[in-house]
Structure 1
C-alpha cells in the first residue's frame, strides 16, 4: 500500500468484495467495466470503481446483468414508475425476499407487533409493490381510496395496531376523506404511517399528523415516518427513526440550518439512517457543487448494485455535526451515527434568467398554511413562462379557492424563486398536468405547460 493512502475502512472492504463478486458473476457489469477500460483485477480502492446508474444498468437486457444470468431465479420482479423516462427493474431472489421479511418484521416488533399482538398492514403503495412480512396480516387496497377506507374501518378494529404504507399525496387524501366521512376517531387504531416515493416536506407531515391525530402524544402511536426505497434497491433502504424525525423537526428553521450547514437553503432535508451491514453509502460530487447519493449493496443480490447512483441530491452528515447544531437549538435529542441528509432529486430546479425554483421549496410552502393545504391535492407544476417562474396547483375535488389563496401562493413562489411568480389555481378535473384521481403515476412537478 502507498504510504500516502489511508487504510481501507470496513465498509470500503465490504464494498470492494461486492465489486469483485459482481465483476466475476455479472456479464453486464463486466462489460460495463470493459467499456470504461477498467480491469477489475487491478482495482485496490473503491475510488477506482466507476459509478453505475439507471441508464448503464437498465439499458441492456436485464438477464445480462444478473448474478448467474437467470431471471427465472427471481422470486419477484418490480419496475419503477418510469417517471424519468426509463424503467428500472427490481429483481429479488428468494433468499433476498426472506431477508426483507426479517427486516420488516423487526420494524413491526419495534412498533409492538408480535405473534401475540396482531398487526394489520394497510398497503396503499401503487404499482403492485408488495410488503414482505410473516408477522403481520397484509391488506392491499393499493391506491383505491374507497377500499382503503373500508378496510381501515371494517378490519382495523380486529387488530392491536394498524400500520399504513403509502405515498404522501395518497395518504393526505386518505386522511382528509376519512376525517370528513368518519370523524376524528377514524385513525385511533393507526400506530404508524410510513411514507416514501418522493421527498417529503416537514410541513406536509404536520398537516397529515393532525389529520390522523398523531399530535395526542400517545406512546403507542409512532406517527408519520419517512421510508426511502427504489424498485431496483428495495423497500425501506434509507429510513427515518423517531429520533431522526425529532432531530429534523428541531433543525427546521433558518438559524438551525445555518448552524448545521453554514447557510440556509430555505428548507430542511430529510435525515435518514441505513443498515451498514446491508449498504455502503457514499456521496458523488457533481459539477454544480452538489452531491448525489450512491449505494453499494453489501449482501449478495441477484442484481448486483455497485456504486449505484440513485440521482438523489444528498450529503452524509456526521453525528457530531448534527449534534452540535441540535445543541445550539436547545433540543435534547442526539444521534449516535452518521445520517444521510436528503434534499430531493438532483437537478430538479427550474432555472431561468437569474432565478431558480426547486419543487422541494414549493412542497414546503404549499402545506405551511393549513387552510390552503386542505383545499389542495398537493400536485403542482413549476415552469418558466415568458422568463418568469410559474406555479400551477390543483384544487381537491369540490374545493374552492379562498380569496387569500392565490396571493399567498404567489408570495410563496416569488420568495422561493427570488423573482415575481405567476400562479394558476386549477379545478380538480381542469388541472392540465395530471389525470384527476390518478395515484398510480407520480406527479410531474417540473416542466412546461402543454395545454
Structure 2
C-alpha cells in the first residue's frame, strides 16, 4: 500500500513541485551532514565554510565544496563518515567494485534496509507490476550486492549463471514473471546459455535489469532477440537499465518503459536523436531520477573539441550527487561520481515529444531526467575518437557476431604514446570458447564500427584462451575497456 500511495502522490505532483521539494530537502541534508558527520565537519572547517552561511540554494552552489571518492573514502576511516560518528547496531556494509583503485562503501541498518525495500519495490512495480503479479527475482549481481525485497520471491546466485539457470529451469513455471538482475556481461552469458541448459526464454515472461557501465542500445536489441521480447508489449518482457552506486543508493537513475521507447526512437531517427542529445552517433542512456531523494548537479569542465564532438553538441558535465534521505547513515553531499551527464527538465522532454507528435512516449511522472554518457574514456586517432561505447554498439549491431564474442574487449594504445595525442590503437576482442577468428569476421566488425566512428584501429579477434588481458573472465570485477 505504501508504494501505491507514493505513486499517487507523484502522479498529482508537478515538475516544479518535485524540484522545489528536493531543494528544501537539500538544505536540511547539508545542515545535518555538517552537524553530525565528523569528517564532513572537519572538511568544511578546513575549507573555511561556515554551515550557518548556507541558507539558500545559491549559497549551497557557491560555498559548498565538491568532493570525490578519493577525498572521502581515500582519506577517512568509515566511522568518521557516518552520521553520529559511530557504527551503531545491526549495521550492514557493502563495497564498490574497486575499479578506480579506491573502494567506497555503503552502510545501512535494519530500519534503512526496510526503507530500501520499499524503494526497490516501488521502482520494480512501476516497470514490472510486481505488486500485482507473482514474481521471482533472480539476483546475479556480484560482490554480495543485495536487493532488499519483501513482496516477491528471491533467488541469490551472484555471478553463477549455471546456478541461476538451474533455479529458473526448476521454478520458472511457478511464477507469472521472472526478473533477472545482472551486470551486462553476466546477463549476456546467462541469456545465451539458457537454451542449452533447458530454459526456453520464449515460453516465459522474463524481464531484465542491468547497468554498472554504459549499456549500448544495440545490446538491448540483441538480448531482446534472444529472449523473444517485443518492445510493443512490455508486459511480456522489458530489458531496463538502472544506475546506482554503492555509496549513494541502489538506484540513482532508472529507466521507465517510456524512456526506453524514446531512446530506441532516437537510435533509429537521426532528427529525434539530434533534438534530444545533440550531434552524436552514440545514443546515450536516458533515465529519470527522484529529486526528492537525490539532488543532482553537473559541474562543467573544459573539454577539447574532439571530446566535445564525441559527447555531442549538448554540453555534459561531471555528475555531482547529494543524498537527501534524512535517515541516511552515510549522507554524502556534492559527491562527484566521475560520470558524464547532461540533465534535462521534464518540461524540455515534454516539449520535444510533442514536437515529434509522440505524446504517447511522455513518462507519467514529471521527474527530471539524466542523459548518461558514462565514464567511457576516448582514445584519439588521426580520424577522430574511439570509445568503448562505439565498440559496444558495433559488436551488438550484428547479432551473429555478438553471439561469437564474450563482450570483453580492450582498446590498447601503442607503447610510448602520450595521453591526448592522436595514435593508432589496437582493438582486441575476445572470442568465446570454441570460436575461431577469421578475416571475414574481423571485416564485419570493422564495417559495423565504421557506422559509429571514423577512427581506424588495428583490429584483432583473439581466441578465448589467447586473450592477453586476463585469460579467464572474472565477472566479480568490472572490465577495463581501455588500456
Tell me if both proteins adopt one fold, taking TM over 0.5 as the criterion: yes
2-side partners of 1:17 and 1:135: how far apart? 32
What is the aligned counterpart of 2:149 among 133, 149, 152?
A: 133
1:295 aligns with 2:321: yes
Other-structure match for 1:13? 24
1-side partners of 2:404 and 2:353: how far apart? 34
Report SS of the residue matched to 1:312. strand
Other-structure match for 1:255? 271
Other-structure match for 1:312? 339
2-side partners of 1:79 and 1:379: how far apart? 23
Of Structure 1 and Structure 2, the greater helix share is in: 2
Q: Is the 8 A contact 1:74 1:302 kept in 2?
A: no
Other-structure match for 2:12? none
Report SS of the residue matched to 2:258. helix
What is the aligned counterpart of 1:142 among 155, 158, 170?
A: 158
Other-structure match for 1:177? 193
Q: Is the 8 A contact 1:119 1:137 kept in 2?
A: yes
Shift of 1:187: 5.1
1:388 aligns with 2:448: no
- CA RMSD in angstroms comes to 2.2
Q: Is the 8 A contact 1:251 1:329 kept in 2?
A: no
1-side partners of 2:191 and 2:329: how far apart? 38
Shift of 1:356: 2.1
Shift of 1:327: 4.4
Other-structure match for 1:443? 479
Report SS of the residue matched to 2:391. helix
Deviates further, 264-273 or 380-389: 380-389
Note closer, same or farther for the CA distance 1:73–1:358 as it changes in structure 2 (3 Å cut).
Answer: farther
Other-structure match for 1:321? 348
1-side partners of 2:70 and 2:231: how far apart? 46
What is the aligned counterpart of 1:202 among 217, 220, 226?
A: 217
What is the aligned counterpart of 1:334 among 362, 367, 371?
A: 362
1:112 aligns with 2:129: yes
Report SS of the residue matched to 1:404. helix
Q: Is the 8 A contact 2:22 2:293 kept in 1?
A: no
Other-structure match for 1:425? 461
Q: Is the 8 A contact 1:296 1:306 kept in 2?
A: yes
What is the aligned counterpart of 2:41 among 30, 34, 45?
A: 30
1:46 aligns with 2:60: yes
1-side partners of 2:112 and 2:462: how far apart? 45
Q: Is the 8 A contact 2:254 2:287 kept in 1?
A: yes
Within a 5 Å distance, the mapping from 1:408-419 to structure 2 comes to: 408-413=444-449, 416-419=452-455
2-side partners of 1:113 and 1:239: how far apart? 16
Shift of 1:231: 0.9
Report SS of the residue matched to 1:138. strand
2-side partners of 1:193 and 1:421: how far apart? 33
Report SS of the residue matched to 2:397. coil
TM-score, normalised relative to structure 2: 0.85
1:378 aligns with 2:407: yes
Uncovered stretches (5+) of structure 2, i.e. residues with no partner: 1-18, 304-314, 416-422
TM-score, normalised relative to structure 1: 0.90
2-side partners of 1:154 and 1:414: how far apart? 44
1-side partners of 2:455 and 2:214: how far apart? 24
Shift of 1:206: 0.2
Shift of 1:384: 2.0
